[in-house]
Amino acid sequence: MAVRTLKLKLTDRARRAQMMNHATPGIMLIILGVSALLSGHTEHLWVDILGIVAGLALLISLKRELKSKGHGHSRVAWFDVIAGIVVIIEGYHKLHPGRWFQPGTLLMLVGLMFILIGIFHEKINGFRLLTCTDSGFTVRTRLIRSFSGQWREIKSFALDGNSLVIQRKDNSAEKHGLRRIENRAEVLRVLNEELGRASA
């Protein structure tokens, strides 16, 4: 069975909106550090200062990446990983012996989540894909959103603005938004090529 895939590319605007999610751990680190300093708990002062510095570094890095249109993103989002480590340290120092669940535990779990997102961020962002097989196609535009069809049921594909229109042989039609996808014209071309190949 022949399989043809096409990676769906986000528009510049959608990429920038997605990159803003990286601000969350930075803001969280700054808030945790500043609130600890203001409350007068200086037992682990170095952890609070480290959190503020790491948070500021993350936001500065994000600002630079946004200015460069995000083209320099590495395979691992290192600042998310570093932020996660700092949040885990912060959570560890907030633990109180004898208590089962407490804010420190929650912080450590959030830190672990940041680390996993940082390590696997390329795979997380690589799910947007058009997959064509001998029998049909699947378009995955979001992690939990996709649409598909069988070639034998499809009459034609067309673009209507930012939407893909699928005309079926039973005269029904469906529209799927591709507003966030930059290479939608290429998606249409591949679908039409594979439909023509399947119909031949």
Sequence-distant (≥ 6) Cβ neighbours of residue 113 within 8 angstroms: 84
Mean pLDDT over 43-47 rounds to 76
- Which tens digit of pLDDT belongs to each residue from 74-124? 667 777 787 788 888 878 877 777 776 777 888 889 889 888 888 887 777
Distances (CA, A) of 37 to 96, 105, 154: 19, 20, 63
Residue 1 is predicted with a pLDDT of 55
Question: CA 110, 105, 103: angle at the middle one, nearest 5?
Answer: 95
pLDDT tens figures, 128-179: 899 999 999 999 988 788 999 999 999 999 999 999 999 999 999 999 999 8
Q: What is the mean pLDDT of residues 171-196?
A: 93
Across 10-19, 135-144, 189-198, least confident range: 10-19
In this prediction, residue 68 carries a pLDDT of 63
User: Is it the case that residue 64 has pLDDT exceeding 90?
Assistant: no
pLDDT of residue 159: 94
State yes or no: pLDDT of 69 exceeds 60.
no
Predicted pLDDT at 74: 60
Residue 21 host element (H or E): none
Show contacts of 48-54: CB within 8 Å, 24+ apart.
48/90, 50/86, 50/89, 51/86, 51/87, 51/90, 54/26, 54/29, 54/82, 54/83, 54/86
57, pLDDT greater than 60: yes
| Average pLDDT taken over every residue of the chain | 83
